[in-house]
Amino acid sequence: MMSTMQGIHVQSVSRHFDGVKAVDDVSFSLAPGETLALVGPNGAGKSTLIQLISGIERLSGGHIMVDGRRIDRLPPERIARLGIGRSFQTSRVFPALSVWDSVMLGTQARLLRREHGRVLVNPLYELLAGLLPLRGWRKKVEGQEAIVRETLQLFGDRLWPRRDQPAFSLSYANRRRLEIARVLAGQPDYLLLDEPAAGMNPTETGELTRLLLELRRMRPQLGMLVVEHKLSLVRSVADRVIVLNQGKVLAQGDPDHALDHPEVVEAYLGRVRTRPVSSDAHLG
């Protein structure tokens, strides 16, 4: 049975920047296997929450627990090793690295977790493994290669045929896909996605929506926190939505309930509408 300690628990979290309450006493939980969307107008505090959970920003108050362990004082790399993978709003892939190698690099996150943080990429070991049939090492590399293959193939024919190309030669949408693939290859228990569909056209957004649904099917234990302005994606993939406004939780619940709440509609559009917010509305 799953313990209630399991999951990400954001408890009374605040982050102030010189008097600006970017996040103001926010609490919520994300269970394993759940997909939670964080939405809200520009400046609502969504990205700051992702920065806080991943350890890039420090809290001004409150605390964050993951699977029963307090993480808000840990450095980002320790948090990543605890199984929290995140993507960035702007892609962080190394431009000169091939698609394959970029995702291979992502697999290190998982290996570091298994080996309790010992550095595995030992150049001498790699050289020896190339010269001698070191079976343990070969097995490890083959395991990583299988993960890279499986991860790239999740993206249909978008990344796999381009696996030998350098990241800089990819289209914008493909670079964003590669960023997600890199994080997924670390096989995180929790995935934090910061505006994965930003800058994507409707076709690309639809494709990303299907990818996230497929991911849910393939990794039923994965907890996902998705910051996204595009409501069509949110309505399709999220079990639950949290609406933030000016650093505070304005509404939460299932997507239809939370997004059609009159106060939410008003916060976004500046007036109360009688019709629900259309599925392709772009917030912010």
Ligand X SMILES: Nc1ncnc2c1ncn2[C@@H]1O[C@H](COP(=O)(O)OP(=O)(O)OP(=O)(O)O)[C@@H](O)[C@H]1O
The residues that touch ligand X, with contacts defined as CB under 6 A, are: 17, 20, 22, 40, 42-48, 284
Q: 158 or 229: whose CB is closer to ligand X?
A: 229
Q: 52 or 111: whose CB is closer to ligand X?
A: 52
Q: 90 or 122: whose CB is closer to ligand X?
A: 90
Cα radius of gyration (the chain): 20
User: How does strand 20-30 pair with strand 8-17?
Assistant: antiparallel
Closest CB 232 distance from ligand X, rounded Å? 17
Q: 20 or 121: whose CB is closer to ligand X?
A: 20
Closest CB 99 distance from ligand X, rounded Å? 27
User: Token match 């030669």: residue?
Assistant: 169
Closest CB 46 distance from ligand X, rounded Å? 4
**Contact of 174 with 109, CB cutoff 8 Å:** no
What residues does 13 pair with on adjacent strands? 26
Q: 24 or 189: whose CB is closer to ligand X?
A: 24
Write down how long the chain is: 284
**Contact of 147 with 185, CB cutoff 8 Å:** yes
Closest CB 194 distance from ligand X, rounded Å? 8
Q: 17 or 94: whose CB is closer to ligand X?
A: 17
Closest CB 249 distance from ligand X, rounded Å? 13
Closest CB 41 distance from ligand X, rounded Å? 7
Closest CB 147 distance from ligand X, rounded Å? 31
Q: 99 or 251: whose CB is closer to ligand X?
A: 251
Residue 172 main-chain phi, psi, to 5 deg: -55, -50
User: How does strand 8-17 pair with strand 61-66?
Assistant: antiparallel
